[in-house]
Amino acid sequence: MDQQAIMKRRMISAIVICIIAIIGMLVFIGLYVDETRRVQETYRSQYHTSLKHAGDDITSYLNAEGDMEMRYTRLVSDMSNAGSFAFLIDGFTEKQIVVNELYTVLLKYPDQMKGKLEDVLEAVKDMQQELDKGYDKAQEIIDSVDKKGN
């Protein structure tokens, strides 16, 4: 074989290997995008589950079932979980801030928040259904708390 034929074969081999590598890379990019989407769906599902549990705890608290302090602690814990999952959801920044602020006022101002639990329940149910009015209602509740009090 002459030098030109050898170079031609090497060039064809390099092009074939490059095409195979590009196809492999595209497959892995597709798998990555699909896995990212599935993970986001899982986070969103867990977020809604945490909100459902928080709503159940508020209902139980309002119906005066069992140990009231334990019910309130569970509520705060469930809102903490919801805030954690909201942090992991992409493109959820504004709503995440509201959820975290609601958790904070529930934690820091239990005496004030115990009187507002019916409104919190309404907001949590709307948030669970992904309605913006739930986040607006939660923000109103947050703003109504006297942060200088207890």
Q: Is the dihedral of CA 139, 64, 48, 79 positive or negative?
A: positive
- Provide mean pLDDT across the span 86-96: 89
Cα-based angle 91, 95, 97 (whole degrees, multiple of 5): 105
Q: What is the DSSP string of 5-65?
A: HHHHHHHHHHHHHHHHHHHHHHHHHHHHHHHHHHHHHHHHHHHHHHHHHHHHHHHHHHTT-
- The structural domain count of the chain equals 1
- Please check whether residue 20 lies inside any domain of the structure: no
- Please check whether residue 29 lies inside any domain of the structure: no
Indicate the pLDDT class of residue 150, thresholds 50, 70 and 90: low
Specify the pTM.
Answer: 0.80
Average pLDDT, the chain: 90
- Please check whether residue 118 lies inside any domain of the structure: yes
- Please check whether residue 106 lies inside any domain of the structure: yes
pLDDT tens digits for range 106-138:
999 888 888 888 999 999 999 998 888 999 999
- Please check whether residue 124 lies inside any domain of the structure: yes
Q: Which two tokens stand for residue 134?
A: 């739930």
- Please check whether residue 34 lies inside any domain of the structure: no
- Please check whether residue 3 lies inside any domain of the structure: no
CA terminus-to-terminus distance, the chain: 91
Give the integer Cα–Cα distance in Å for 76 and 57.
9
Domain coverage including residue 110: 44-144
pLDDT tens digits for range 6-36:
899 999 999 999 999 999 999 999 999 999 9
* Secondary structure element (H or E) that encloses residue 95, with its range: helix 93-108
- Please check whether residue 8 lies inside any domain of the structure: no
